Amino acid sequence: MKLLVIEDNPATGKHLDTGLTEAGHEITWTRDGKNGLDQALSRQYDAIVLDLMLPELSGMEVLKEIRKRGHRTPVLLLTALGTVEERVAGLQAGADDYMVKNFAFPELLARLETITRRASTPSLVNEVGSIKLDLSNRRITCGLTELQLTPTEFSIMELLMRQKGQVVTRKMLCEHLWDADWEGTTNVIEVHINRLRTKLEKVGEPQLIQTVRGRGYTLGAV
């Protein structure tokens, strides 16, 4: 994978650079938000590891600008405190996953491989009402309008559309997104679902994703 690491702490950056390189990946490491944003917008990466506390531009500012420009590169946030508010804010801004320092490197590597794997699914077109999902180019459209989704949001919609008319449990979503259930995942799923609903509302489909109390979610009524 081609990975962009935006991290100003020398020890953490060196740890990531060395570990990811030894794992066989091509790494670009930059130490401030401004240069990191320039790199993210000028080159194609498979994923970005982004620290929140950066000089020049904060990690949150970098993330928001990347998404504003329409770039869907998977982003893994690194947070120092890992408060619920901080994690939710990052996910709402377009991050796909997060890890709290000091993280275990094997877990970070597994998370990166998971969020990048979701971007390389075989060609398939699926439709539910006015929503059309095309896996060949990772696009979801409503009529002539394209929804600007993060890779995680896209993967959630993919599973919901494949299981249209059936209940998709939170456990199923966790396994689809991260290959396992892990502590805190339920809240993460709810944040992504709420963001999806907001984006669907803007294109005239506010009720497409329904909550089935005590069970999970479905597209439309069960």
Residue 149 maps to which CATH number?
Answer: 1.10.10.10
User: How far, in Å, CA of 121 to CA of 46, rounded?
Assistant: 14
Of 57-66, 128-137, 208-217, the least confident = 128-137
Q: Which amino acid is at 167?
A: V
Q: Could you tell me if 86 and 10 lie in one domain?
A: yes
- Identify the CATH number of the domain in which residue 62 sits: 3.40.50.2300
Q: Model's pTM, two decimal places? A: 0.61
Q: What is the pLDDT of residue 180?
A: 59
CA distance readout (Å), 46 to 28, 50, 142, 145, 205: 12, 13, 26, 25, 31
User: How far, in Å, CA of 45 to CA of 51, rounded?
Assistant: 16
Domain count for the chain: 2
The boundaries of the domain holding residue 49 are 2-117
Q: Looking at the predicted structure, is the pLDDT value of residue 38 above 90? A: yes
Q: What is the pLDDT of residue 123?
A: 43
Q: What is the pLDDT of residue 43?
A: 87
Q: Could you tell me if 112 and 20 lie in one domain?
A: yes
Q: Could you tell me if 186 and 135 lie in one domain?
A: yes
Residue 182: exposure state from Cβ atoms within 10 A (0-12, 13-18, ≥19):
exposed
Q: Could you tell me if 196 and 100 lie in one domain?
A: no
Mean pLDDT of 14-29: 96
Residue 138, token pair as written in the block: 């990772």
Place of tokens 């249209």: 164
Q: What is the pLDDT of residue 19?
A: 96
Mean pLDDT of 179-183: 56
